[in-house]
Amino acid sequence: EAGVAQSPRYKIIEKRQSVAFWCNPISGHATLYWYQQILGQGPKLLIQFQNNGVVDDSQLPKDRFSAERLKGVDSTLKIQPAKLEDSAVYLCASSLVRGQGLGKLFFGSGTQLSVL
Amino acid sequence: EDKVVQSPLSLVVHEGDTVTLNCSYEVTNFRSLLWYKQEKKAPTFLFMLTSSGIEKKSGRLSSILDKKELFSILNITATQTGDSAIYLCAVTETSGSRLTFGEGTQLTVNP
């Protein structure tokens, strides 16, 4: 079974530039999550999709971050404009059904973003 | 707001040692507690606990939950260098499937 695919693996940009990350979840997984993990911290949820609808975006900085999941499969997370404090690993995860498995998520390898 | 606190934040041991990692939590409507192992970037699932006092085991790893005292421990016996990783604890609420993570414990196992 293919895992969660993310790209790019690494990205270096200057502050005020824009950047986009892509995620392809495990086939058949209805729920998709984007997490931000700053060095030395645990992952923090940015946004959760159920199919192509947003379930939870309460911790997404909406003035600069946006995400979409067209057709309920792939997802894109965008930052515009980037700030220094956005330097982090951005993890995408998916799960089979919302609430099913009580939190058993499958994570991708992440995108490491450095903002200079 | 849900809160998860892990200790210690880092730990260095020698191969063959036994380690105990701690996780305490505060959550309004607790549903489950999960342990993940993070090597490089992708966290991988280890255990999910929902009931108090029931130990989950997988090889040299085991975990138990105490819902009264609001904590969990992860034990690793006969540690190996391949156990070196960050171990993350997370909780979920009954209202959804969001995982709230602790800061993690960085475990280093030296040969």
Q: Is A5 on the interface with B (CB under 8 A)?
A: no
Q: Is B19 on the interface with A (CB under 8 A)?
A: no
| Predicted local confidence at residue B73, as pLDDT | 97
Burial class (CB in 10 A: 0-12, 13-18, 19+), B23: buried
Mutate to test the interface with B, among A7, A10, A37 (most CBs of B within 10 A): A37
Q: Is A44 on the interface with B (CB under 8 A)?
A: yes
Q: What is the pLDDT of residues A59-105, one digit of tens each?
A: 999 999 999 998 889 999 999 999 999 999 999 999 876 555 556 88
| Predicted local confidence at residue A28, as pLDDT | 86
Residue A104 to residue B41, Cβ atoms within 8 A: no
| Predicted local confidence at residue A99, as pLDDT | 52
Q: What is the pLDDT of residues A28-59, one digit of tens each?
A: 888 899 999 999 999 999 999 988 899 899 99
Residue B97 to residue A112, Cβ atoms within 8 A: no
CA–CA separation, B2 vs B35, rounded Å? 16
Q: Read off φ and ψ for residue B24, nearest 5 degrees.
A: -115, 155
CA–CA separation, A113 vs B2, rounded Å? 27
CA–CA separation, A54 vs B88, rounded Å? 26
